[in-house]
Structures are given as C-alpha cells and as structure tokens.
C-alpha cells in the first residue's frame, strides 16, 4: 500500500522503475532472523532472487550468509561483506573459472550436483594445493506442488544427484583427497506454501543422512535449501511469510544430531514483497471485446508473468476505484514486440487514462535480476524509500 506522499513522489520520477520499500525489507529480515535464531539455524540469502547493491548491504547487516549460483555472485557476496566462511556455491553447471574463483576465496562450501563435478573440483583444488569443502546436493524426488517450471526436486529435473548414484558418490569422495565432505544439501523448488511438503523433505533428509553415516561419512551439515513462498495475492495484508511455521517444521521433524548444523537458503521470502515495478500508461485501447492498458514497462522489466504465468497484483495509483460500474476489465500489457508481453488479462481497474501511474506489486524477487535489454531498451533505475 502506498501513502499519498509516495504516490506524489512517483509523479516526478521517470518510469518505469523499481521501487524498494526498505521498511518492509527490514521487517521481513527481522522476522526471519528471530524465527531461525530460536533454533540455532543458519540462513543463507539466495542471491539469485535480487542482487541490488543496497538490498545486499541491508541483508548482510543482519548477519545472513550468501547462497550463490555463479562465480560473479560469489564475488559480489564477498564484496558486500558476506564473510567467506558463510558463502556457499551451488549450481548444476559451475565452470572451471568459477570453481577456481571460489577456491581462491576459500568459501565455506560447494554444493555439488554430479559425480563428475566432485572429480573436477578435486583436480582444481589439488592444482592449488587446497582442500575444497563440499556438500552433496541430493535429488529427494519430493514434489513441491508448485509450477513445473520452478520445481527442482523430482527425478526428471536436471538438479542434484539421484539416490541411485549415491554409491558412486561415496566412491568418488573416497578417491578425492582434496575434498572434505561436510554434509548433504537439498532444494525441492520455489514458491512453496504447503508446510506438508517440508515434512516430506525432512523424512528424506533423515533417510539420506543415515545412509551416509552407515557408509562411514560424518554428516556435519544438513542444508534444507529454501523455496518458502510469499502471498502474491495479498501483499498488504500478508506481507511477511510465515517463517515461524516454516522453521518449526524442521525443528519438529528433522533428526538433528549433536554437533550438526542446519542450514537454509531463502531468497524470494526475504525480498519479494519489498519492491514494486512502477510504470505509466502510454496508451489506452478500447475494443469491442477487449480493453488494453499499454504500459511503458514490459517483460524486459518483469518477465515472471510471461515466463511461467506468475500472478502479480496490479494497481492504478492515479485513480481511486469508485462504484463498480466505473471500473473496467483491462488486459495490462507492455510495449515489447512479443504477444506474450502481458502482465495480466481481465484486470479490474478504475477507468484509466494515459499517464496514470501503475504499480505491479511483489516484484522484489526475480524482477530486477531478470531484466534484459531486449528491443534495445534502456535498463531502468531503482528508487528507494528512506533507509
């Protein structure tokens, strides 16, 4: 929800832009920190969700670690003060260059996703006379019950090591003297709101740690990944995700043994509600069957609706919704030369006009980070509330 002073401020700023409410960001981080600290859990921020520099600085100030999926994310995490001892590096396709960068940085752990990767990291570490700490990302075949484009924990997904490969993993670990086995890692998908899914994950984690210990490996770290969702439909009334219930599931159902650490990698849940995409209406097209609001923002600024049919609340900040007979249904679309450049169809909005300011809510995760220069469009600025 935007107060009148904020809406007035928007009138003087060139659109489109990302607007960050730093108060919401801080409140979310405080809630996560309090809920996780209750059980001594370690939280790493998944940098792929948003690597805006000001956002990173605030997250780092709360003492979270960093979960990285590229060499440049590792570099950025360290540059923004995330201690190297709190940086983990995941990703199904780490290049030699990226692995070497992480080795030189002496990061906490590589989350390894194939048997071949174990041998590659071992060889690169040996060349540097280093020992690389690794966790094995296991594919638990747990259905996250979310969109199939953002599900990562099934047998058919490219991520992780399948359970029938574990004997090969054990042999590789024993054959690689420049690797130090820390533990096991999981990530089953994104935008998960059903806590029963995490109970199933706990069962699989318990089984997998028993398997490794039965085969002579000490499991020091249980990394449950992330994926906790946010309420895209009610950003004002349900702004902060249910961190209390989320972490309590793992407290109640995960078999944590003495001396073990439990780690998480949360991204969307920490940043999604903190930002909106602010745009203006360029043109209104009224037809016999459809009315279109053509915005100056499009899939180049927020591709989620076009990529996997994601829902975002859309508001006209210039017009107040009056009687229902004054509202119309609009297809809210962007200016990009693609038919898929549509934020939502049949959106109920007040009668709208050229120049009206439009907010696309809950754009703090996978908004700015996925922006592109398609159609040779300018990259847009970020605007912040008071820090």
pLDDT tens, residue by residue, 56-82: 999 999 999 999 999 999 999 999 999
- Look over the chain and give the mean of its residue pLDDT values, rounded to a whole number: 93
pLDDT higher than threshold 60 for residue 97? yes
Q: Write b or e for each residue in 34-45: b if 16 or more Cβ atoms lie within 10 A of its Cβ, otherwise e.
A: ebbeeeebbbbb
* Alpha carbon separation from 347 to 291, 320, 338, 342, 367 (Å, rounded): 10, 15, 20, 11, 20
The per-residue pLDDT for 321 is 58
This prediction has a pTM of 0.93
The per-residue pLDDT for 189 is 87
Domains delineated in the chain: 4-17+273-384 (2.40.37.10), 22-271 (3.20.20.10)
The per-residue pLDDT for 365 is 98
pLDDT in tens, 252-279: 999 999 999 999 999 999 999 999 999 9
Closest CA to 363 of 297, 317, 318: 297
Name the strand (E) or helix (H) holding 56.
helix 53-61
* Alpha carbon separation from 155 to 152, 161, 164, 210, 348 (Å, rounded): 9, 9, 11, 21, 41
> Are 98 and 74 within 8 A, CB to CB?
yes
pLDDT in tens, 164-205: 999 999 999 999 999 999 999 999 888 999 999 999 999 999
pLDDT higher than threshold 50 for residue 149? no
Length, in residues, of the chain: 387
Structure-block tokens of residue 20: 């960050």
Residue 320 binned pLDDT confidence (cut-offs 50, 70, 90): confident
* Dihedral pair phi/psi, residue 129, rounded to 5°: 60, 45
Mean pLDDT on 133-138: 97
What CA–CA distance (Å, rounded) separates 316 from 351? Answer: 9
């Amino acid at each position: 929800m935007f107060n009148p002073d904020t809406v007035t401020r928007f009138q003087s700023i060139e659109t489109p832009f990302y607007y960050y409410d730093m108060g919401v960001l801080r409140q979310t981080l405080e809630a996560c920190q309090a809920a996780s600290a209750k059980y001594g859990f370690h939280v790493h921020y998944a940098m792929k969700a948003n690597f805006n520099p000001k956002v990173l600085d605030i997250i780092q100030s709360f003492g979270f670690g960093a979960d990285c999926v590229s060499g440049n994310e590792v570099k950025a995490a360290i540059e923004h003060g995330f201690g190297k001892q709190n940086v983990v590096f995941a990703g199904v396709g780490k290049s030699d260059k990226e692995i070497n960068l992480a080795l030189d940085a002496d990061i906490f752990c590589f989350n390894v996703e194939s048997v071949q990767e174990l041998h590659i990291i071992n060889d690169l570490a040996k060349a540097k006379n280093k020992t690389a700490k690794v966790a094995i990302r296991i594919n638990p075949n747990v259905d996250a019950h979310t969109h199939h484009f953002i599900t990562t924990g099934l047998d058919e997904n490219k991520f992780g090591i399948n359970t029938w490969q574990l004997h090969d993993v054990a042999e590789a670990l024993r054959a690689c003297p420049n690797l130090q086995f820390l533990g096991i890692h999981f990530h089953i998908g994104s935008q998960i709101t059903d806590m029963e899914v995490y109970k199933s994950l706990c069962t699989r984690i318990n089984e997998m740690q028993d398997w490794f210990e039965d085969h002579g490996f000490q499991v020091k770290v249980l990394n449950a990944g992330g994926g906790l969702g946010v309420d895209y439909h009610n950003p004002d009334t349900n702004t902060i995700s249910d961190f209390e219930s989320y972490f309590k599931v793992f407290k109640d159902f995960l078999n944590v043994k003495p001396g073990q650490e439990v780690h998480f990698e949360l991204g969307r849940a920490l940043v999604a509600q903190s930002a909106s995409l602010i745009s203006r209406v360029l043109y209104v097209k009224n037809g016999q069957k459809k009315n279109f609001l053509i915005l100056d923002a499009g899939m180049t600024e927020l591709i989620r609706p076009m990529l996997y049919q994601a829902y975002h609340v859309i508001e006209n900040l210039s017009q107040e919704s009056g009687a229902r007979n004054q509202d119309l249904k609009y297809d809210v679309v962007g200016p990009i030369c693609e038919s898929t450049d549509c934020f939502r169809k049949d959106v109920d909005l007040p009668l709208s006009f050229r120049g009206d300011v439009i907010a696309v809510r809950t754009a703090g995760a996978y908004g700015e980070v996925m922006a592109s220069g398609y159609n040779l469009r300018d990259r847009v600025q970020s605007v912040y509330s008071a820090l």
